[in-house]
Amino acid sequence: MLGFITRPPHRFLSLLCPGLRIPRLSVPCAQPRPRAMAISSSSCKLPLVAVCQVTSTPDKQQNFKTCAELVREAARLGACLVFLPEAFDFIARDPAETLRLSEPLGGRLLEEYTRLARECGLWLSLGGFHERGQDWEQTQKIYNCHVLLNSKGAVVATYRKTHLCDVEIPGQGPMCESNSTMPGPSLESPVSTPAGKVGLAVCYDMRFPELSLALAQAGAEILTYPSAFGSVTGPAHWEPVFS
């Protein structure tokens, strides 16, 4: 079962039971049915998963507040695993601000999310964290890091995006993720979670079928592509790949 709880402005929470056939939806904001969603986990006897949509800003604390509200709502409705999008932590105004706002995995912001996972007693997929890696001093570049936390707040897996999005956008000029971001060195093996074995990827990775094939062959039951596509790049990627 799939449904949506809307949260203005520009955020919503969807809940689903993995393993069920989900009808194709023509628009993301279908009529919200929170009562049906709360019941769905018991009726289908499958774990309940929440997918949260937010519009991030450069204000990291406000973004955390927004995400935390959605995570707590998902926990209240019985979700065991919550997915947050790419750039859930922030979206900066320019590359220099992106680098300035980035943090290491051991920084303050991720610690807040580990406490949130413990508080709510659920797993968190943090879909694209602007990570200052161990090579930050040498490279002055970051990683686009998909972090998976368990219900005790421990980091159980990290995947650093391997396919960076360097494209020419009609009418907007070039977008070069590689100017500020390093590609990750390897894939992460699928991780066993209460909802099944999860394969970690990020955004532009979806254009490369070898990655999803490798994860599936390694036992992944759920493939994840948390994304922060724009108004031009979104339709250019999501519609051709998933239509």
Show which residues are catalytic. 86, 161, 203
Q: Does the N-terminal peptide bond of residue 9 adopt cis geometry, omega within 30 degrees of 0?
A: yes
> What is the rounded CA–CA span in Å between residue 42 and residue 131?
38
Other beta carbons within 10 angstroms of residue 66's beta carbon come to 21
Amino acid at 227: S
Q: Which of 97, 122, 112, 108 is nearest to 64 (CA)?
A: 112
**CA-only gyration radius of the chain, Å:** 17
Residue found under tokens 């979700």: 79
Q: Which residues contact 98 (CB under 8 A, 6 or more apart)?
A: 92, 130, 142, 180
Q: Which residues contact 195 (CB under 8 A, 6 or more apart)?
A: 18, 47, 49, 80, 81, 123, 222
Inter-residue contact 86 to 227 (CB < 8 Å) = yes
Q: Which of 2, 52, 6, 1 is nearest to 29 (CA)?
A: 6
